C-alpha cells in the first residue's frame, strides 16, 4: 500500500508542477510579445488607444492612435545633416512650437519616442471593454488560467 500511495502523490505533485510551468510559460510569452513590440516600435507604449470621447470627431473612442501629433515640416541642417521637425496636433489649429522650449523652434530627433509600424482596427475595443467592465477581464484571466490548469500536456 505504501508504494502505491507514494506513486500517486509523486504523480500529483508532478502534475501540479507541470501546470504551474505551463501557466508561467503563458504569462512569460505575453511579456515577451509586449517587450518585442517595444523593441520593434522603439516606444515604451507600443499600443495606444483612445479611451474617452475627448478627441472626437477626429478620433473615435476605441480607435488605436499611435500618433496624435503629426510632422508638418522638416528642417534639414546643412552643417551636421540632421533633420529637425515641426509638429502639429490633429485637434489643434496651430503648430506645436508653443510646446517646445523657448530656445527651440524645431523638435530634435532625440525627442522622438517611436514611429507607427502597423494598424489593427477595433483592437482598442478590447481595452475599453476590460476597463469599463472589469468583471470581463477577471473572467477572461480565470478562463485562461483554468485552460492551462486543465490541459493534459
Active site residues: 54, 69, 96
Place of cell 492612435: 65
On whether the CB atoms of residues 107 and 86 are closer than 8 A, the answer is yes
Place of cell 519616442: 113
Task: Give the count of beta carbons closer than 10 Å to the beta carbon of residue 128.
Answer: 15
Largest CA distance in the chain: 87
Compute the residue count for the chain.
153
On whether the CB atoms of residues 12 and 26 are closer than 8 A, the answer is no
User: Quick one: which of 140, 145, 116 has its CA closest to 127?
Assistant: 140
The conformation of residue 49, written as its DSSP 8-state character, comes to B
Amino acid at each position: 500500500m505504501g508504494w502505491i500511495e507514494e506513486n500517486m502523490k509523486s504523480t500529483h505533485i508532478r502534475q501540479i508542477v507541470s501546470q504551474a510551468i505551463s501557466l508561467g510559460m503563458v504569462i512569460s510569452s505575453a511579456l515577451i510579445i509586449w517587450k518585442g513590440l517595444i523593441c520593434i516600435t522603439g516606444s515604451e507604449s507600443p499600443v495606444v488607444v483612445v479611451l474617452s470621447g475627448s478627441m472626437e470627431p477626429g478620433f473615435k473612442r476605441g480607435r488605436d492612435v499611435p500618433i496624435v501629433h503629426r510632422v508638418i515640416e522638416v528642417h534639414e541642417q546643412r552643417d551636421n545633416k540632421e533633420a529637425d521637425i515641426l509638429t502639429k496636433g490633429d485637434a489643434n489649429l496651430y503648430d506645436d512650437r508653443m510646446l517646445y522650449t523657448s530656445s527651440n523652434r524645431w523638435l530634435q530627433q532625440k525627442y522622438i519616442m517611436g514611429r507607427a509600424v502597423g494598424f489593427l482596427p477595433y483592437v482598442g475595443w478590447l481595452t475599453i471593454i476590460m476597463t469599463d467592465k472589469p468583471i470581463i477581464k477577471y473572467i477572461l484571466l480565470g478562463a485562461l488560467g483554468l485552460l492551462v490548469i486543465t490541459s493534459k500536456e
